[in-house]
Each structure stands twice: as structure tokens, then as C-alpha cells.
């Protein structure tokens, strides 16, 4: 995972949550609990599908009024390691069927920590271009340089 | 959530080429003419112009003809769009993790599971 990290397209959020890993895992894997925190109130989240196994479907809907729901997540689980890791992508739907569009692969990890659980969410975003081609063209080094240069420029304004 | 990246595809794709990245890097130092930008590359002008047009069409640069010289200027907007989009995604995940934390550490919601 680290070998393919692309700072301009990936993001990672880490937090130590002062709760046992089983509780954090339950908050993620129990649809009734998941619905309570996944989207900000007053938006309501409804889990249609949370088939926690590789190839399992993951679908949610959201609503602002509790009456009209619209699709939110449509994804497929790629890896599910009890109490440790959940990986899903919207590039696929249930049963590994290719989706209409691909945007992100999300990796959720949970580890024991002295103060509770070390929770990390990593999102790998699509660049819109073929990865192999990127590597051939030295994409990974070049991207960082351009971004740094442009960052300095924008900050200077 | 899925629409913005579609719009950004061209912006990202423009950065997938070393010539275009070099051009953007050079323009970071200030506006330059096509001739100045093309000089470091062993490339026929029509090929180089394709890159310039690509950058122009994806909103990375602006070009303007003054007399016989076409000048190129960096558009900070594209960079901000890429950066802004990513930081927006970051905010979504940060806030989501805040809510998970509040939920998981709230004794009232977790009594039965422990």
C-alpha cells in the first residue's frame, strides 16, 4: 500500500478512539449502529446492503427529510478481516460486478492501542488515467514536484 | 460525490505527462512565451503545441498572443480545484471519524455490546 501512495490523490485519517476495538468494529459492522454516525445529522443514512465479506455488496441511501431517499454508497467489499480491516470500492458492486464509474477505494483499519483503538481510514482516489502509464512516465515523482511548486506559487499570492 | 472527480479528470490527466508537468513547473516561476517553454524539449513544435493546448483546455494555463509572441500564464484555479477537492474529501473523513468516535465512546449507545 505504501509503495503506491500518491500524496496528491490519497488521503488518510487516523485517530485513537477511546473505546475497545470490539465496540469500534460493531459501530462499523452493525448497520443499525453504522447508520447513526456515517453521515452528519440531520441527514439520515439507511443501509440497504452490508454484506461483510469479499465480494459482498455495500449500499446505503441518504435522506434529508426521512421521506425521500437517494443513493449514497454503492460499493463492494474487497477484504473483511474481523476486528481488523474493511476494504471496499465503488469501482465494483456486489459479486465483484464492475460498476458504472469508479472513484475511490477505502481502507479502514483498527488496531489495539493503549488508550483504546487506533482507527485509520485511507481513501485512494482515481486519477482518471491509466496507472501503468503513470509509472512509465514517472508520474509519482513528477506529481509531487509540480504540486509543491504550485503550492508555493498559490501560497505566495 | 461522484460528479466532481469526473469534472476533475482532465485536470488530473494533464499532470500525467512529464512535458506538461515541466511546463507547469516552469510557469510556476512566471509567464513565458511558447518559444521559451519549448526550448528545453527535443520535440517538434506541433507536438509541443499539443501539450500547450491540452493544458489550456484543462484550465491549467492561459495563453495570449501579444504581437508575434504567444505568452503562457499559469492558472492557479486548477491547482486549487485539485487541492480543494482533496481537502474537501479529507474534511468528510475527519468529520465522519469524529462522529464514529463520539458514537463509540458514548456509553448509552454501547451498553449491550460490551
Q: Say if B113 falls within a structural domain.
A: no
Cβ contact (<8 Å) for B16 and A134? yes
The pLDDT tens digits of the residues spanning B76-108 come to 777 776 767 777 788 889 999 999 999 999 887
Beta bridge partners of B64: B71
Beta bridge partners of A12: A122
Cβ contact (<8 Å) for A150 and B96? no
> What confidence category does residue A134 fall into, taking pLDDT thresholds of 50, 70 and 90?
very low
Share of chain A above pLDDT 70, in %: 75
What pLDDT, on a 0 to 100 scale, did the predictor assign at position A60?
94
pTM reported for the whole predicted model = 0.64
Closest chain A C-alpha to B9 CA, distance in angstroms: 5
The mean pLDDT of A26-41, rounded to a whole number, is 89
Which letter does DSSP use for residue A95 in this model?
G
Query: Which helix H or strand E contains A92, and what residues bound it?
Result: strand A92-93
Q: Say if B114 falls within a structural domain.
A: no
Residues 6+ apart with CB under 8 A from A114: none
The mean pLDDT of B34-60, rounded to a whole number, is 92
Provide DSSP, A51-76: --STT-EEEEEEESSSSS-EEEEEEE
Which letter does DSSP use for residue A3 in this model?
G
- Residue A76 and residue A47 in one domain: yes
Cβ contact (<8 Å) for B103 and A18? no
Cβ contact (<8 Å) for A146 and B97? no
> Does residue A61 register a pLDDT over 80?
yes
Share of chain A above pLDDT 90, in %: 50
> What confidence category does residue B110 fall into, taking pLDDT thresholds of 50, 70 and 90?
low
Nearest to A37 among B12, B93, B99 (CB): B99
Taking only residues 6 to 45 of chain B, the set having a beta carbon closer than 8 angstroms to any beta carbon of chain A reads 6, 8-10, 12-13, 15-18, 21, 24-25, 28
- Residue A119 and residue A140 in one domain: no
Which letter does DSSP use for residue A9 in this model?
T
Which of A56-59's residues contact partners 24+ apart within 8 Å by CB, and which partners? A56/A80, A56/A94, A57/A93, A57/A94, A57/A95, A58/A88
Q: Say if B112 falls within a structural domain.
A: no
Write out the three cell numbers for B107.
456509553
- Residue A138 and residue A116 in one domain: no
Of the two residues A23 and B12, the one the predictor is more confident about is A23
The mean pLDDT of B47-59, rounded to a whole number, is 92
Of the two residues A133 and A34, the one the predictor is more confident about is A34
| Range(s) of the domain holding residue B21 | 3-105
Provide DSSP, A97-129: EEPS---EEEEEEEEEETTEEEEEEEEEE--SS
Cell 463520539, residue?
B102
- Residue A30 and residue A77 in one domain: yes
> What confidence category does residue B16 fall into, taking pLDDT thresholds of 50, 70 and 90?
confident
The count of domains in chain A is 2
Cβ contact (<8 Å) for A19 and B105? yes
Share of chain B above pLDDT 70, in %: 83
Q: Is B91 on the interface with A (CB under 8 A)?
A: no
> What confidence category does residue B46 fall into, taking pLDDT thresholds of 50, 70 and 90?
very high
> What confidence category does residue B111 fall into, taking pLDDT thresholds of 50, 70 and 90?
low
Closest chain A C-alpha to B70 CA, distance in angstroms: 22
| Range(s) of the domain holding residue A135 | 130-157
What pLDDT, on a 0 to 100 scale, did the predictor assign at position A82?
97
The count of domains in chain B is 1
Beta strands in chain B (DSSP E): 32-33, 61-66, 69-74
What pLDDT, on a 0 to 100 scale, did the predictor assign at position B8?
64
Query: Which helix H or strand E contains A26, and what residues bound it?
Result: helix A21-29
Distance CA A75, CA A101 (A): 11
CATH number at residue A28: 3.30.530.20
CATH number at residue B75: 1.10.10.10
Chain A residues in contact with B55 by the CB 8 A cut-off are none
Looking at B19-23, B47-51, B74-78, which range is the least confident one?
B74-78
Of the two residues B84 and B37, the one the predictor is more confident about is B37
- Residue A107 and residue A37 in one domain: yes
Q: Say if B110 falls within a structural domain.
A: no
Which letter does DSSP use for residue A78 in this model?
E
Cα angle at B1 between A134 and A75, to 5 degrees? 80
| CA A124 to the chain's CA centroid | 7
> Does residue A135 register a pLDDT over 60?
no
- Residue A85 and residue A139 in one domain: no
- Residue A117 and residue A141 in one domain: no
Cβ contact (<8 Å) for A125 and B21? no
Amino acid at each position: 500500500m505504501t509503495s503506491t501512495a500518491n500524496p496528491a490523490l490519497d488521503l488518510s485519517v487516523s485517530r485513537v478512539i477511546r473505546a475497545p476495538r470490539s465496540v469500534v468494529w460493531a459501530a462499523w459492522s452493525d448497520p443499525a449502529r453504522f447508520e447513526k454516525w456515517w453521515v452528519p445529522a440531520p441527514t439520515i443514512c439507511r443501509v440497504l446492503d452490508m454484506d461483510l465479506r469479499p465480494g459482498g455488496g455495500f449500499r446505503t441511501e441518504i435522506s434529508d427529510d426521512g421521506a425521500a431517499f437517494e443513493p449514497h454508497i454503492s460499493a463492494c467489499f474487497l477484504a473483511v478481516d474481523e476486528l481488523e480491516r474493511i476494504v471496499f470500492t465503488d469501482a465494483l458492486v456486489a459479486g465483484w460486478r464492475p460498476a458504472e464509474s469508479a472513484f475511490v477505494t477505502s481502507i479502514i483499519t483498527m488496531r489495539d492501542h493503549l488508550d483504546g483503538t487506533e482507527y485509520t481510514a485511507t481513501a485512494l482516489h482515481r486519477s482518471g488515467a491509466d496507472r501503468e502509464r503513470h509509472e512509465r512516465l514517472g508520474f509519482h515523482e513528477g506529481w509531487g514536484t509540480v504540486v509543491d511548486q504550485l503550492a508555493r506559487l498559490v501560497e505566495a499570492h | 460525490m461522484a460528479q466532481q472527480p469526473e469534472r476533475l479528470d482532465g485536470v488530473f490527466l494533464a499532470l500525467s505527462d512529464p512535458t506538461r508537468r515541466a511546463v507547469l513547473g516552469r510557469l510556476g516561476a512566471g509567464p513565458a512565451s511558447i518559444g521559451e517553454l519549448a526550448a528545453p524539449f527535443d520535440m517538434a513544435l506541433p507536438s509541443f503545441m499539443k501539450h500547450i493546448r491540452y493544458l489550456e483546455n484543462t484550465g491549467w494555463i492561459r495563453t495570449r498572443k501579444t504581437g508575434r509572441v504567444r505568452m503562457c500564464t499559469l492558472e492557479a484555479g486548477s491547482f486549487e480545484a485539485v487541492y480543494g477537492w482533496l481537502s474537501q474529501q479529507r474534511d468528510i473523513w475527519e468529520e465522519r471519524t469524529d462522529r464514529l468516535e463520539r458514537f463509540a465512546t458514548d456509553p448509552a449507545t454501547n451498553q449491550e455490546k460490551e
